[in-house]
Structure 1
């Protein structure tokens, strides 16, 4: 069936990245971490767990890290899909596998995770409102009727990956990805995902303030 590469942007996650990579590799052996200028031991921990690691000399942002990971995955002639996966442990490996199965079974171009298709993900009122507003904004600008425009768990096939390049380096890249998907008129589906908001992941950027920052970047990108 080819190689599925899991692409993990990485920035100062030394306490969790080895566990995340080890867990992912129980299902998906091909993992590439793009270290985006970490100042801790993230690189050595990711390598210890068996990931390929590519390093940015300075912090460029998650969008830039994803594009570097996509370029690397495309260099593998056997690569058939990539899965984008967060480094802080908030994504479910079972969801990722289910998304890949759906993409292959229905011969889709992309499958996008959504926190709003079931009740597993626990969200506060304010965060839920901001994410719903972001989804509405993206729906209006892209025409894609997504319920969750800023879910970082995605499966993208090789042909699609070859056809686009991210230019938004930071958080607005998520909406840029949706815009590109819309422009390419892809076959797509959403899939219910469970996002785990631990105290650690909140401290690493999953706060309400970060959601507000996403809206600001959308408006001024």
Structure 2
């Protein structure tokens, strides 16, 4: 089974190299999708990877993930993909557990972050807000729907095909999984937070609420 890790990024030169080094210790099947960065992210990625895809302009995380998936399934003949963020928030040491679930035949795997004393308060509150609102609207509770660390096999991807171009793609994927009754599992993951991590703003929360409501009524 070929599993490809997809890492979307936008101006993450500060953390990208460390992220790639960690992932490459686990697997060589990695795609980096640069979403119109103006820093040195692309040149850093090309030092480490064979598969570097570039958006000339910033299209959003959802678009970057879709670009990576299409390339992985069409050109690399992948059977499944894992999404990781490029800011070194996700630990590559958790990858084998995603691989294990996919090899068992699990269509979708959600990474659920452990929230502790090191978690920024606004990050914690924002994540809980999104998960509780989704639970209210869709009658299904997924503990960490904004998490970017997740995986899916090819058949699940074909069913999901999200429309979101931006960061709200994380929530849309969870919603589509529930709406289409796709089987999934959750695994607990470690997360690394940086000093400048402020979490979800009030504007972010309103945007997420709007999206969840729109998807619920079919818009």
Equivalent-residue separation in structure 2 for 1:177 and 1:121 (angstroms)? 28
Deviation at 1:87, TM superposition (A): 0.3
Q: How much has 1:93 moved relative to structure 2?
A: 1.1
Q: Deviations over 1:150-190 (max 9, x none)?
A: 11100111111122222111121111111111122111111
Q: Which residue of 2 aligns with 1:75?
A: 74
Contact residue 120 and residue 198 of structure 2 kept, 8 A: no
1:19 Cα deviation from its structure 2 partner = 2.6
1:39-118 → structure 2 map (5 Å cutoff): 39-76=38-75, 78-105=77-104, 107-116=105-114
Give the structure 2 partner of residue 189 of structure 1.
Answer: 185
| Mean CA deviation greater in 161-170 or 62-71 | 161-170
Distance change in 2, residues 1:87/1:126 (3 Å): closer
Q: Measured at CA, do residues 211 and 108 of structure 1 come closer, stay the same or move farther in structure 2, by a change above 3 Å?
A: farther
**Residue matched to 1:23:** 22
The CA distance in 2 between the partners of 1:220 and 1:137, in whole Å, is 11
SS in 1 for 2:14: coil
| Distance across 1 between alignment mates of 2:63 and 2:203 | 18
| 2:141 maps to 1:145 | yes
Q: 117, 125, 145: which one pairs with 1:129?
A: 125
Checking the alignment, whether the CA contact within 8 Å between 1:21 and 1:51 is kept in structure 2 is: no
Measure, in 2, the Cα distance between the counterparts of 1:41 and 1:147: 35
TM-score by length of 1: 0.87
Per-residue CA shift, 1:3-35, capped at 9, x if unaligned? 211111111122332231122122121111111
Q: CA RMSD in A?
A: 1.9
Paired residue for 1:179?
175
How many residues of Structure 1 are paired with residues of Structure 2 in the alignment? 211
Unaligned 5+ runs, structure 1: none
Scaled by the length of structure 2, the TM-score of the pair is: 0.88
Structure 2 gaps, min length 5: 212-219
Query: Which residue matches 1:220?
Result: 210
